[in-house]
């Protein structure tokens, strides 16, 4: 038993970072007031007062529909589309005498299309419903009375229930932590589902309930909780617990949020506070911003354009019809005698010609409706879903090491991937691995660590100096055997540090690394005794591992202490030391530092602090700056080498000073007023002064594999790349060099607020004067940079890079300056924004998106990138080590930055071309079909009669022409994936919207009009005079209509065959199958009784098939109709080829492997503003050529 208890205490190894108990001092009176009215009766879920409150149940739903709302809501969604609404109106009108066709034939295609879309919606919603059912039906142990806990489903939980959660189970609701398997009520919680962070959080119950360890102890447990109402703030909680007639304040430390997971804790007991849709995680769930691609928006405009043509044709036709009808009866003479104008209905009555023309207008609107492709939207949706499946299953974007494939979370933006103009990228975890390695350090002004970083290697390649040549020729570092530690220096390693001149400073340095953190140790007691660490960030883990490797092994943490093994400099033996943990002053982005206050075994109280150089140097004491100059020099060198640096310092506190701080800090921590955080910051700021400098750490965040090569290809594709990072300017610049975003000879335009005037104002402390002067200073710097760019344009083709820090960016994004800033930025080859906050990243993305009007793609991996991902046209999340929040907020998830090359250059290009071609073809085939109806109307003096049988009209879009276009959208490739990546400039077809420009769309429409004219006139002229068959019969409307329809089906399908670049078996089946289906349908439909088949009765078997002229006319008309397109395509490819056609010629002529020819082709993608390694080499060659010419000239 003692052993078990000892193990329990051993695993409870982290101090409560709340660092203080909440108290009622201050403004706790808000409990019970507005916004703080929730009352929970623990262990009394059926309490009468709870019933009156009517709290939400614990079932959650994420579905759009239910059984009652599915039909009305989904129908409303469908008929919001103008095309569907139009077909609904014409379908209703089909039941009137105005209709030129039967009502059933008009309504059935609409029903099929709407039903198909609704089925798709229903399937998607059913999947969501199944997920909800799976969650709601999970089991949890709940107290049923008399100290017994039984399993029940999550959805049955009520406010006030006492639940028991076991290790690795999810919390079913928002719970108040009462007790845990640890005596001090500690529990470890993983919040990855909430905030995407993988590190464990610590929670601690109140001391008064911490003794409740057995199930039976809850038989008589009663308590009342009064707390805040449901809200979305994950990090705040205000409440009180009334237990045994005493009140105890509650804080976020006691709150366990729904969908978090219990880790490293055997069990916990908790009281249900918020259920279902009242829980904080559900309150936080908002619908992601709705994104539609530019192609889809343009498709809507084309539909409106076609509506205009339709209305114009109907209007013109109605005028002609009205005039003709008025003249039908002239002094008793009937011109169109077959319409019986002397005894006619209102539709053909010469005396009511105006009314007749109005009715004809409505009839024409129905008849010409075939201009609008009814199946376009559903076909595009089907194609996009299938394209997404291909993206998800692409083996070339599968990251085997992490078992992570690409995942398209939405299929709406597939074609947008082929039109990206600007990429806005995070650095850490996106371009780099976010896998930190401790590689160098500066202690007491001495630099330690002999490793060479990737950035230093890149620098050595661009600067020829003896030092760099040494670096370049030094052997590669072997892969580190210890994750997070790649430090090598014989002066420090293996205990040799004790012989160094400043051994005491080195000891304090690594002791600080071993103590000043929030990592949780885990000792493998059974096997090796090795210690591993669960840390909040990769660099924090690297520091603790570095301290361990040098000889300061942190191995145990309890509620109030840290224990480690230290190397004793005197004896040379490892000794155990325990430090009492008094306070933790946590790190955040505004403080930029973290401190711990500990008491050592000699009773000394020490404040140990680590933080960014921008805040640490100003906090040093006068007598603590001995190594400042050298340390600053080393920090700058480390930044130049692309390393992340932190400054380490400490101070010793006397009892009086500590007690004063402890009183103020505890008071600030325990207050529940709005300025609580300010009070905490003031107390912390006061104590974190007069520090003594120890040195600086340097960790390397290595570039991901393939990043420089990927950036090179994207740059050759003409895509601009911006880097938005929170790192220091020097680090960002050097990472820019390493991944070829920057190069030697590129002029750097650096915008920052480090001028003497601004620094003087900052010392004076006048905030309004600082803001005004800073804004004007930034405006001036941007203006000068624009002038510099303009001046260089006439004289040289030098590339420029814009580098701006977060402080300056805040002013550059001001409404009066942002347009100037954007003008400057888009003229530069590279843009790097340093020290950027998450909000600034989102604002920059919005500026680029709205300012350029072009497609933007944001890519990031952390929670701080979410705003940027949602603001961009396309958000790509990297499923890296910073959790899944970026992925959950993105449109597409990939595992590595390098996969962006294939995602854009291959899938993006293909999807853009397929969707664009598919939409153009849809309009072509519908205009070809619809315009033949109009021409027949003209031929028949606008009598409102269709050229074709009703069911021919209805099934054209559904069966005889829709499948080949879907195959085009899914399978067609203008060039293979290898050629897409070999010739990146091909991507510019999408950026410049070459394949979906109005010129190309109108070209396809014109092709449709020409095809319709040729089909109509050739068919009518071929049949109107001579006998149709050997029996001497002439062609009537039934024969002419069936022949024209046959020609249309052949033409639109063979047009598809001519256009396709990459035939698959499926495309052959769909194209030839659609033609075959027409003949089978004509045969089957014509064999039905005349009451059903009307004028198609046996028209094929008795009239068309036996007649040679039918087959001759079909062949002649089809070939003649395709000649214009074929001629145009041949001439264009020969004299004015598009880039993909040039690549097709290269492949056809076998020059794909000719290095000289390929180099010449690639040269077109290199401009002076292009970045990447290829552009860097080209620029270097140009410089050498210029120098040689200059030498020869001299």
Strand order in the sheet with 267-274: 148-153, 139-145, 162-166, 267-274, 174-180, 255-256
Structure tokens, 537:
């960030």
Q: Is 950 annotated in the active site?
A: no
Q: How many helices (H) and strands (E) does the chain have?
A: 41, 35
CA distances for 404 relative to 140, 401, 904, 1094, angstroms: 31, 8, 18, 59
Is the Cβ–Cβ distance between 101 and 946 less than 8 Å?
yes
What are residue 485's phi and psi, to 5 degrees? -130, 115
355 contacts: CB under 8 Å, gap ≥ 6: 346, 349
Tokens, residue 468: 């760099």
The residue from 174, 259, 328, 426 that is catalytic is 426
The pair of structure tokens assigned to 1089 is 């009784």
What is the maximum span of the chain, computed from C-alpha positions, in angstroms? 132
Q: What backbone phi and psi angles, to 5 degrees, belong to 221?
A: -70, 125
Burial class (CB in 10 A: 0-12, 13-18, 19+), 795: exposed
Instruction: Return the half-sphere exposure (C-beta side, CA atoms, 13 A cut-off) of residue 1162.
Output: 23
With tokens 């080590």, the residue in question is 881
Q: Token pair of 555, please?
A: 């191995």
Distance CA 876, CA 874 (A): 6
Distance CA 1015, CA 352 (A): 35
Element (H, E) at 424: strand 420-425
Q: Do the bridges between strand 162-166 and strand 139-145 make them parallel or antiparallel, or are there none, so unpaired? A: antiparallel
Residues 295 and 415: beta-carbon distance below 8 Å:
yes
Written as one string, the DSSP assignment of 235-278 is T---EEEEETTEEEEE-GGGEE-TT-EEES-SEEEEEEEE-GGG
φ, ψ for residue 480 (rounded to 5)?
A: -65, 135
Distance CA 627, CA 177 (A): 48
Here the tokens at position 24 are 């009622």
Residue 402: CB atoms within 10 Å: 12
Q: Please compute, for residue 207, the number of CA atoms within 13 A of its CA located in the half-sphere on the CB side.
A: 6
- 939: which 2 tokens? 């031929």
H or E segment and range at residue 1127: helix 1108-1135
Query: Ramachandran region of residue 1167, left (φ > 0), alpha (ψ -120 to 50) or beta?
Result: beta
3-class secondary structure for 869-891?
Answer: HHHCCEEEEECCCCCCHHHHCCC
d(CA 551, CA 575): 10
**Which residues carry out catalysis?**
426
């Amino acid at each position: 038993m003692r052993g078990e208890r000892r193990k329990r205490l051993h695993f409870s190894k982290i101090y409560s970072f709340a660092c203080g108990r909440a108290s009622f001092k201050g403004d706790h009176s808000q409990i019970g007031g507005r916004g703080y009215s929730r009352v929970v009766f623990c262990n009394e879920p059926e309490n009468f007062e709870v019933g009156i409150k009517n709290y939400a149940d614990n079932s959650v739903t994420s579905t759009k529909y239910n059984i009652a709302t599915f039909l009305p809501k989904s129908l409303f969604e469908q008929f919001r589309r103008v095309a569907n609404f139009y077909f609904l109106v014409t379908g209703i009108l089909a039941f009137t005498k105005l209709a030129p066709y039967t009502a059933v034939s008009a309504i059935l295609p609409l029903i099929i299309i709407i039903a198909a879309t609704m089925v798709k919606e229903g399937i998607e919603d059913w999947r969501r419903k199944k997920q909800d059912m799976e969650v709601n039906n999970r089991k949890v142990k709940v107290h049923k009375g008399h100290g017994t806990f039984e399993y029940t489903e999550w959805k049955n939980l009520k406010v006030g229930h006492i639940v028991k959660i076991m290790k690795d189970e999810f919390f079913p609701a928002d719970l108040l932590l009462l007790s845990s398997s640890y005596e001090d009520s500690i529990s470890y919680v993983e919040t990855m589902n909430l905030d995407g962070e993988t590190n464990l959080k610590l929670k601690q119950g109140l001391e008064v309930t911490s003794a409740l360890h057995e199930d039976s102890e809850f038989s008589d447990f009663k308590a009342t909780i009064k707390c805040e109402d449901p809200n979305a703030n994950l990090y705040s909680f205000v409440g009180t617990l009334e237990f045994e007639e005493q009140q105890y304040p509650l804080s976020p430390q006691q709150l366990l949020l729904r969908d978090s997971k219990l880790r490293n804790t055997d069990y916990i007991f908790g009281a249900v506070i918020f259920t279902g849709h009242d829980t904080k995680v559900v309150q936080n769930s908002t619908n992601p911003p709705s994104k539609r691609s530019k192609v889809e928006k343009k498709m809507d405009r084309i539909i409106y354009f076609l509506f205009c043509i339709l209305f114009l044709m109907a209007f013109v036709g109605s005028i002609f019809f009205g005039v003709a009808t008025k003249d039908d009866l002239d002094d008793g003479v009937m011109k169109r005698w077959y319409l019986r104008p002397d005894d006619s209905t209102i539709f053909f009555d010469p005396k009511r010609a105006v009314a007749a023309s109005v009715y004809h207008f409505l009839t024409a609107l129905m008849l010409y409706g075939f201009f609008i492709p009814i199946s376009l939207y559903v076909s595009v949706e089907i194609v996009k879903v299938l394209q997404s499946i291909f993206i998800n299953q692409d083996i070339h974007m599968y990251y085997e090491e992490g078992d992570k494939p690409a995942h398209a979370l939405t299929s709406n933006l597939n074609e947008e991937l082929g039109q990206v103009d600007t990429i806005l990228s995070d650095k850490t975890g996106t371009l780099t691995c976010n896998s930190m390695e401790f590689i160098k350090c500066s202690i007491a002004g001495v630099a330690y660590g002999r490793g060479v970083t990737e950035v230093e290697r890149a620098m050595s390649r661009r600067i020829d100096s003896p030092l760099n040549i040494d670096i370049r020729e030094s052997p590669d570092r072997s892969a580190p055997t210890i994750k997070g530690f790649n430090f090598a220096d014989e002066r420090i390693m293996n205990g040799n540090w004790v012989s160094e001149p400043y051994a005491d400073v080195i000891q304090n340095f690594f002791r600080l690394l071993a103590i000043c953190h929030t990592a949780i140790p885990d000792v493998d007691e059974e096997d090796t005794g090795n210690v591993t660490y669960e840390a909040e960030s990769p660099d924090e883990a690297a520091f603790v591992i570095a301290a361990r490797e040098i000889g300061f092994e942190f191995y145990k943490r309890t509620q109030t202490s840290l224990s480690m093994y230290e190397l004793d400099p005197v004896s040379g033996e490892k000794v155990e030391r325990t430090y009492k943990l008094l306070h933790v002053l946590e790190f955040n982005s505004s403080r930029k530092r973290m401190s711990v206050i500990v008491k050592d075994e000699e009773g000394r109280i020490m404040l140990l602090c680590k933080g960014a150089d921008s805040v640490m140097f100003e906090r040093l004491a006068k007598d603590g700056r001995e190594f400042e100059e050298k340390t600053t020099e080393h920090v700058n060198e480390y930044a130049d080498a692309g390393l992340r640096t932190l400054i380490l310092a400490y101070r010793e506190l006397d009892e009086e000073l500590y007690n004063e701080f402890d009183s103020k800090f505890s008071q600030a921590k325990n207050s529940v007023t709005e300025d609580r955080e300010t009070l905490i910051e003031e107390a912390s700021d006061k104590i974190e002064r007069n520090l003594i400098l120890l040195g600086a750490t340097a960790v390397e965040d290595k570039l991901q594999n393939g990043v420089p090569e990927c950036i090179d290809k994207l740059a050759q594709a003409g895509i601009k790349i911006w880097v938005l990072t929170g790192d220091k300017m020097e680090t960002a610049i050097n990472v820019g060099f390493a991944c070829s975003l920057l190069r030697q000879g590129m002029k750097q335009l650096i915008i920052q607020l480090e001028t003497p005037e601004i620094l003087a104002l900052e010392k004076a402390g006048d905030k309004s004067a600082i803001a005004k002067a800073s804004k004007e200073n930034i405006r001036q710097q941007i203006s000068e940079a624009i002038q510099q760019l303009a001046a260089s344009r006439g004289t040289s083709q030098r590339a420029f890079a814009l580098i701006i820090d977060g402080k300056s960016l805040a002013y550059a994004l001001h409404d009066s300056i942002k347009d100037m800033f954007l003008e400057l930025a888009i003229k530069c080859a590279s843009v790097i924004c340093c020290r950027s906050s998450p909000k600034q990243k989102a604002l920059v993305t919005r500026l680029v998106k709205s300012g350029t009007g072009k497609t933007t793609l944001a890519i990031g991996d952390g929670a701080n990138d979410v705003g940027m991902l949602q603001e961009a046209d396309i958000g790509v999340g990297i499923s890296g080590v910073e959790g899944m929040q970026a992925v959950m907020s993105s449109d597409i998830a990939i595992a590595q930055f390098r996969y962006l090359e294939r995602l854009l250059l291959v899938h993006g290009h293909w999807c853009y071309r397929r969707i664009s071609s598919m939409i153009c073809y849809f309009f072509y085939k519908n205009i070809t079909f619809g315009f033949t109806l109009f021409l027949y109307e003209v031929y028949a003096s606008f009598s409102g009669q269709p050229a074709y049988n009703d069911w021919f009209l209805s099934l054209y879009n559904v069966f005889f022409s829709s499948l080949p276009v879907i195959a085009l959208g899914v399978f067609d490739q203008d060039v293979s994936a290898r050629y897409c990546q070999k010739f990146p400039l091909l991507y510019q077809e999408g950026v410049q919207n070459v394949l979906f420009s109005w010129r190309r769309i109108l070209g396809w429409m014109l092709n449709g009009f020409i095809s319709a004219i040729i089909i109509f006139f050739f068919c009518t002229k071929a049949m109107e005079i001579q006998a149709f068959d050997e029996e001497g019969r002439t062609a009537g409307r039934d024969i002419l209509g069936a022949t024209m329809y046959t020609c249309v089906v052949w033409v639109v399908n063979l047009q598809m065959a001519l256009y396709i670049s990459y035939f698959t078996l499926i495309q052959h089946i769909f194209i030839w199958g659609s033609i075959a289906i027409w003949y089978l349908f004509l045969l089957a439909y014509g064999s039905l009784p005349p009451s059903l088949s009307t004028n198609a009765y046996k028209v094929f078997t008795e009239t068309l098939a036996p007649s040679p002229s039918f087959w001759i006319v079909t062949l002649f008309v089809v070939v003649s109709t395709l000649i214009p397109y074929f001629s145009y395509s041949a001439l264009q490819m020969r004299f004015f080829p598009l880039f993909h056609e040039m690549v097709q010629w290269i492949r056809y002529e076998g020059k794909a492997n000719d290095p000289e020819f390929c180099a010449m082709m690639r040269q077109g993608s290199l401009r002076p503003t292009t970045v990447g390694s290829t552009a860097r080499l080209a620029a270097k060659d140009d410089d050498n050529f210029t120098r040689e010419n200059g030498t020869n000239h001299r």
